[in-house]
Chain A
């Protein structure tokens, strides 16, 4: 019956009916699992929600979660730690990825083999990574410090167990683990750069450095822009690597905002308060993205 109705429709009408039917399953799931959580996070953050089983005790508390949050030293500190992590991690990984991609883009031998080796950490399991590094970086008898001592370093760093060194160490391990993806994306961009551009610059007498800064970097700037935005967002949602490597410690030295959210939600059962912190994280991401979007005219060249 329905099928007959469909058959008699004009071809354009058929197309739009099919189109809507094809996106229907996805749209329902998307609204339920992505859209709905985002919308209700605003609502939850204005309530005192604690236990899902006691929904009748939920009260609207206005902005009190937010005003409490900005006076809560641990939340403010978590935000600062998140931003510190971002500042350490983003430039380091972008530079490393670009450098490695530039080298891989030369006429080197065994390029595919090297690319595989350099990409491999990206597919590794985060808990496996944390286990391996906590053993290798053990301050007393880990292989790294034993090696440093044999080179005559009397007082090698505490790595993951030092309050000053834990955050940079996690950032470094994260760079190692994630770099492959950035590298491959940069490599794809570099391979699209027309060869003639470099050649004509050479004829004009440009040296390698001028060619790099005035020809290559501007051409790949859209990729750099895209990677900067996604890497910053990625660096602010770093729950997994922090939780597995340090659990937020020692002390509070690596307690970033996502760790603080999880603690508020599932440690002290303050879902409303945790949701307010989620909103804070979202606001930070939005502000950084908007600033970047506005600033892109100054340095991003679209061909």
Chain B
């Protein structure tokens, strides 16, 4: 009992700090609480003060409105899911072998090629917006999801991240297999990949979240309403038609469900991936 008391006293400062951080944390997520709560309120209650967490009258009218025929909400949702899934599959297929080669295979000019690729990290995407538009137009991929999938697939950032991770797998694990005549694709598939699950998860999660939330890509490269992605789609609730805040809040809430769910279920990878995969430089 006495021991517990002593511990309590020594930790009093930490209790205060915890309380302070919990307050900061709640202020930090208040916009989301506000969003979810408002999405169940009728329009005339959204601006009521003081703020009520539980609406006076709970209504589903906003959610029902999203699925009315004049919007393509389900279409946008499906488009985004398909686009993100394609990006993840294609990116894994292309980047994993490349990162393996850059990390563990010796060939002429390897490090020079990698450094040149890496230098493009310094070029912000907004700089090459116009030439990208020109190239995609000439390739005929504007107004399709490929104008979002393909550029995201060849993101050097993830080659860098995976290369760091692959290089940290001990060479003793693979050397014997190679001397025994095991091919590199087998080594990659059987030895490296099972050891690289956290890195692959990190790549998948970041690809999902960045792809899902991308605004500039669909805004610039997709004009057909039916082919639009969710992010730009929600904005149509904002700009088109009458300003229906309840509808916007419901759309925003539904758009955030997959990312928040993914984040909460996989945050171990998400947060520790940042620490272990060399993103901190």
Q: How far is the CA of A12 from the CA of B178 in the complex (A)?
A: 11
The 0/1 profile, CB within 8 Å of A marked 1, for residues 4-32 of chain B is 00000001001101101110111011011
With A19-B106, A120-B28 already in contact, the answer to whether A135 and B126 are too (CB < 8 A) is no
Nearest neighbor of A240 in chain B, beta-carbon distance: B215
Residue from A40, A108, A116, A126 having most chain B Cβ neighbours under 10 A: A108
**Residues 222-261 (chain A) with a chain B CB within 8 angstroms:** 222-223, 225-226, 233-234, 236-237, 239-240, 243-244, 257-258, 261
Q: Quick check: A44 and B130 within 8 Å, CB to CB?
A: yes
Q: Which secondary structure dominates where chain B touches chain A? A: helix
Q: Quick check: B154 and A281 within 8 Å, CB to CB?
A: no
Chain B residue contacts of A279, Cβ below 8 A:
127
Q: Out of A118, A138, A225, A237, which one reaches B126, CB within 8 Å? A: A237
The 0/1 profile, CB within 8 Å of A marked 1, for residues 150-173 of chain B is 110110100100000000000000
Chain B residue contacts of A44, Cβ below 8 A:
130-131, 134
Q: Quick check: B105 and A26 within 8 Å, CB to CB?
A: no
Q: Is the CB of B245 closer than 8 A to any CB of chain A?
A: yes
Q: Is the CB of A185 closer than 8 A to any CB of chain B?
A: yes
Q: Quick check: B130 and A30 within 8 Å, CB to CB?
A: no
User: Total A-B residue pairs with C-beta atoms closer than 8 Å?
Assistant: 296
Q: Is the CB of A127 closer than 8 A to any CB of chain B?
A: yes
Q: Quick check: A261 and B134 within 8 Å, CB to CB?
A: no
The 0/1 profile, CB within 8 Å of B marked 1, for residues 168-198 of chain A is 0000000010000100110111010000000
Residue from B34, B132, B251, B280 having most chain A Cβ neighbours under 10 A: B280
Q: Is the CB of A265 closer than 8 A to any CB of chain B?
A: yes
Q: Out of A36, A107, A135, which one reaches B46, CB within 8 Å? A: A135
Q: Is the CB of A106 closer than 8 A to any CB of chain B?
A: yes
Q: Out of B234, B271, B274, which one reaches A131, CB within 8 Å? A: B234
Q: Quick check: B131 and A275 within 8 Å, CB to CB?
A: yes
With A11-B178, A115-B271, A188-B275 already in contact, the answer to whether A278 and B127 are too (CB < 8 A) is yes
- Closest Cβ of chain A: how far from B111's Cβ, in Å? 12
- Closest Cβ of chain B: how far from A12's Cβ, in Å? 7
Residue from A27, A116, A131, A135 having most chain B Cβ neighbours under 10 A: A131
Chain A residue contacts of B127, Cβ below 8 A:
38, 41, 237, 278-279, 281-282, 285
Q: How far is the CA of A19 from the CA of B105 in the complex (A)?
A: 6
Chain A residue contacts of B110, Cβ below 8 A:
19
Q: Quick check: B120 and A35 within 8 Å, CB to CB?
A: yes
Chain A residue contacts of B259, Cβ below 8 A:
123-125
Nearest neighbor of B281 in chain A, beta-carbon distance: A226
Q: How far is the CA of A156 from the CA of B160 in the complex (A)?
A: 47
Chain A residue contacts of B31, Cβ below 8 A:
121, 129, 132-133, 136
- Closest Cβ of chain A: how far from B246's Cβ, in Å? 10
Q: Quick check: A128 and B256 within 8 Å, CB to CB?
A: yes
Q: Is the CB of A62 closer than 8 A to any CB of chain B?
A: no
Chain A residue contacts of B179, Cβ below 8 A:
11
Q: Quick check: B154 and A16 within 8 Å, CB to CB?
A: no
Q: Out of B49, B98, B123, B129, which one reaches A146, CB within 8 Å? A: B49
The 0/1 profile, CB within 8 Å of A marked 1, for residues 30-53 of chain B is 011011001000000011010100
Interface size on B, residues (CB 8 A): 100
With A108-B14, A281-B127 already in contact, the answer to whether A20 and B28 are too (CB < 8 A) is no
Q: Quick check: B213 and A126 within 8 Å, CB to CB?
A: yes
Q: Quick check: B156 and A34 within 8 Å, CB to CB?
A: yes
Q: Is the CB of B66 closer than 8 A to any CB of chain A?
A: no
- Closest Cβ of chain A: how far from B158's Cβ, in Å? 10
Q: Quick check: A274 and B249 within 8 Å, CB to CB?
A: no
Q: Is the CB of B201 closer than 8 A to any CB of chain A?
A: no
Q: Quick check: B156 and A107 within 8 Å, CB to CB?
A: no
Q: Out of B49, B252, B274, which one reaches A125, CB within 8 Å? A: B252
Q: Quick check: A40 and B120 within 8 Å, CB to CB?
A: no
Chain B residue contacts of A115, Cβ below 8 A:
271
- Show the binding face of B for A, using Cβ within 8 Å: 11, 14-15, 17-18, 20-22, 24-26, 28-29, 31-32, 34-35, 38, 46-47, 49, 51, 93-95, 97-98, 100-102, 105-108, 110, 113, 117, 120, 122-135, 137-139, 150-151, 153-154, 156, 159, 178-179, 183-185, 209, 212-213, 215-216, 219-220, 230-232, 234-235, 237-238, 245, 248-249, 251-253, 255-256, 259-260, 262-264, 267, 271, 274-275, 279-281
Q: List 17 A-B contacts (CB under 8 A).
A: A16-B108, A25-B98, A32-B135, A37-B131, A110-B18, A118-B25, A123-B259, A124-B213, A132-B34, A143-B49, A184-B274, A185-B274, A188-B275, A191-B275, A257-B126, A282-B123, A285-B127
Pairs of residues from A and B, 10 with the lowest C-beta to C-beta distance, nearest first: A226-B281, A128-B252, A188-B275, A117-B25, A16-B107, A19-B105, A26-B98, A22-B101, A19-B107, A237-B124
